[in-house]
């Protein structure tokens, strides 16, 4: 079945369902999962911080699981010499054939730019990395990092500017995340064996603790609970505006902005790495 046919069947169904929009505070939306006190919720639930020292990093996860949604989070990354550190913010399911949608922020020496690393896993297989520099200092203030995940595509955005799109090309035999609910996860951890210049630059523990901050979480999404989606509640209806993300695609302006980012700030694209794939580039690279 062609993606356009699948989408035409799904969207009228979704349009009559309820999507849950969550912009509650961190106490209501997340659990602090590891780090022995290095994860903190502050300011009456409006701010969350993760810290890393030589003994341990820290992390949190969402209370809810989601199957499609538009997820927004504002982050302020580790400042100063952040070499060796990784701040990960991603959606993931569980199991051997998991799906995952990744933002990872690779730290660097003071004055050198962060690397924003993105990846998409489908049925346990990733290797779809694209990396970017940012056009601002992500440590000086909060910036919004968004994942739009709907039946036809996954769009990564920064401050509303799309940087990457992974399209649903199932009609060409390419897996697409669509059937496994995912939680939101984030962690701050030491990865100095690979994160900065391939592991050449190590973490300077004299700069610890390293801290990343989070605020203004919002999920306009289908919540998955007890084997059912909040978008399958036929007794309620949702307005066209609140479910617009379900059918949202990049318009001409969005495509041009994404091309601008990719032309000026992309530093790695698996779809152009012929040495890595001597048997031929992944099939989506030829179709998207």
CA distance 250 to 242: 17
Which residue in 62, 102, 107, 108 sits closest to 270, CA to CA? 102
C-beta of residue 269 within 8 angstroms of C-beta of residue 277 = no
Query: How many CB atoms within 10 Å of residue 194?
Result: 12
- E strands along the chain, which residues? 20-22, 30-34, 39-42, 47-52, 58-76, 85-92, 100-106, 115-121, 130-132, 143-150, 153-158, 161-167, 182-190, 210-225, 228-229, 266-269
Q: Which of 104, 165, 256, 284 is catalytic?
A: 104
Residue 157 phi/psi, 5° resolution? -135, 150
Q: Which of 65, 100, 165, 284 is catalytic?
A: 100
Peptide bond connecting 211 to the previous residue in cis, omega within 30 degrees of 0: no
Q: 175 is written with which tokens?
A: 């897996």
Collapsed DSSP state (helix, strand, coil) of residue 199: helix
Let me know if 165 is a catalytic residue: no
Q: How far is CA 67 from CA 6, 204, 231, 238, 239, in A?
A: 17, 39, 9, 17, 19
Burial of 103 (0-12, 13-18, 19+ CB in 10 A): buried
Which residue in 47, 29, 62 sits closest to 187, CA to CA? 62
Let me know if 129 is a catalytic residue: no
CA distance 163 to 259: 8
The catalytic residues are 100, 104
């Amino acid at each position: 079945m062609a993606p356009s046919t699948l989408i035409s069947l799904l969207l009228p169904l979704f349009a009559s369902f309820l999507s849950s929009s969550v912009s509650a505070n961190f106490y209501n939306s997340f659990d602090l999962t590891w780090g022995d006190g290095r994860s903190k919720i502050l300011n009456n639930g409006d701010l969350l911080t993760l810290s890393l020292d030589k003994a341990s990093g820290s992390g949190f996860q969402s209370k809810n699981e989601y199957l499609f949604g538009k997820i927004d989070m504002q982050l302020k990354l580790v400042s100063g010499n952040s070499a060796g550190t990784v701040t990960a913010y991603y959606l993931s399911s569980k199991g051997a054939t998991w799906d995952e949608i990744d933002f990872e922020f690779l730290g660097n020496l003071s004055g050198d730019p962060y690397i924003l690393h993105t990846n998409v896993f489908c049925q346990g297989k990733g290797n779809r990395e694209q990396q970017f520099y940012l056009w601002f200092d992500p440590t000086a203030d909060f910036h919004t990092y968004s994942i739009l995940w709907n039946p036809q595509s996954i769009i990564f955005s920064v401050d509303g500017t799309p940087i990457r799109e992974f399209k649903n090309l199932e009609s060409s035999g390419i897996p697409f995340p669509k059937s496994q609910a995912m939680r939101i996860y984030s962690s701050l951890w030491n990865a100095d064996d690979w994160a900065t210049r391939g592991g050449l630059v190590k973490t300077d523990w004299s700069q610890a603790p390293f801290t990343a901050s989070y605020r203004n979480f919002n999920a306009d999404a289908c919540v998955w609970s007890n084997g059912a989606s909040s978008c399958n509640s036929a007794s309620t209806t949702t307005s066209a505006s609140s479910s617009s993300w379900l059918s949202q695609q990049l318009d001409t302006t969005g495509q041009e902005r994404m091309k601008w980012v990719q032309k000026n700030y992309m530093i790695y694209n698996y779809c152009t790495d012929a040495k890595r794939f001597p048997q031929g580039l992944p099939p989506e690279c030829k179709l998207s």
